Amino acid sequence: MDIANQLSTSGRAIFTSRLVRKKFDPSQPVLDKGSSVSGAYFVLEGALRVFTLSPQGKQITLYRILPGQTCILAINSLFNSFLYPAWVEAEEKTVLGVLPGDIYRQLFRGEAIVQDITIKALSSTVFGLMSALEKHHSQTIKQRLAHYLLVRVAPDATVYTTQQVIADDLGSTREFVARILSHLTQQGLVQTGRRKIRILDPEALKKLCQYDEA
């Protein structure tokens, strides 16, 4: 989404002159829990992962921020002078556009596209968090892993990721994820390789999302 081109002439001038671009490498921290938020963050390229930590110290992914999107937790902290309540890191090479808080509030009052982005970020984040919470409490880790693979599979029937990333996203351990993947491999549902998992039987995985066969 090209935000600048959807602003009014005056809004575009303010946006482009005050937007600060920042580059991040994969896994580089962007925000730490307890940080003060001075502006709104727009993903221009790449992706961000917002996560928290369990009492055992495991990373639990809350949601991701993709190009054209902003972080609603940062917006909430910005509007209410709260400290940031989670951690954020770049998932890949990422370019952020950071807009000072007073400028974002000014644009929010008068620009429909900024209001739209903010409302969509709020609704999608709430929906994602509720969905993740429901899955976490109602499904086994094996079912959640099956669902995880199905929603992230590429057109070539392959999920390009690592076991550690999956473990972080599911709030589990790499060893436990490896054990489940080994079981799925023995059943002929998947085939694992270096930084990739090939889906061999998607229909069986779909059934597994509903009924745990373990």
Instruction: Assign 186 a pLDDT band (cuts: 50, 70, 90).
Output: very high
Segment 190-200, tens digit of pLDDT: 999 999 999 99
**131 and 27 both lie in a single domain:** yes
What is the bridge-based pairing of β-strands 39-45 and 94-100? antiparallel
Sign of CA dihedral 150, 184, 136, 177: negative
Tokens representing residue 162 in the block:
């690592």
Sorted by sequence, the CB contacts under 8 Å of residue 2 that are 6+ apart come out as 68
Average pLDDT score over the chain:
85
The pLDDT of residue 65 is above 70: yes
Question: Both 79 and 179 in a single domain?
Answer: no
**Domain with 97 in it: what CATH number?**
2.60.120.10
Domain end position, chosen among 137, 172, 187: 137
User: Are both 133 and 177 inside the same structural domain?
Assistant: no
Burial of 174 (0-12, 13-18, 19+ CB in 10 A): middle
What separation, in Å, do the N-terminal and C-terminal C-alpha atoms of the chain show? Answer: 43
- Residues 128, 153 share a domain: no
CATH number of the domain that 172 lies in? 1.10.10.10
Same domain membership, residue 145 and residue 98: no
| Other Cβ atoms closer than 10 A to 25 | 11
Is there a single domain that holds both residue 19 and residue 89? yes
Indicate if 126 and 151 belong to the same structural domain: no
Q: Which domain holds residue 54?
A: 4-137
How large is the C-alpha radius of gyration of the chain? Answer: 19
Q: Dig out the tokens for 205 from the structure.
A: 């995985």
* Alpha-carbon span 121 to 61, nearest angstrom: 16
> Tell me, what's the pLDDT at 212?
47
Give CA–CA dist 151/148, Å, rounded: 6
Core vs surface per residue 105-141: b (16+ CB within 10 A) or e = ebbbeebebbeebbeebeeebeeeeeebeeeeeebeb
Work out how many domains the chain is built from and give that number.
2
Residue 48 is which amino acid?
Answer: L
pLDDT tens string 149-158: 988 888 899 9
User: In terms of domains, do 112 and 156 share one?
Assistant: no
From the centroid of its chain, how far is CA 79? 22
Domain closes at, from 137, 169, 193: 137
Instruction: Give me the mean pLDDT over the 166-195 stretch.
Output: 90
* Residues 114, 202 share a domain: no
End position of a domain, from candidates 96, 122, 137: 137
What sign has the CA pseudo-torsion 147, 160, 61, 101? negative
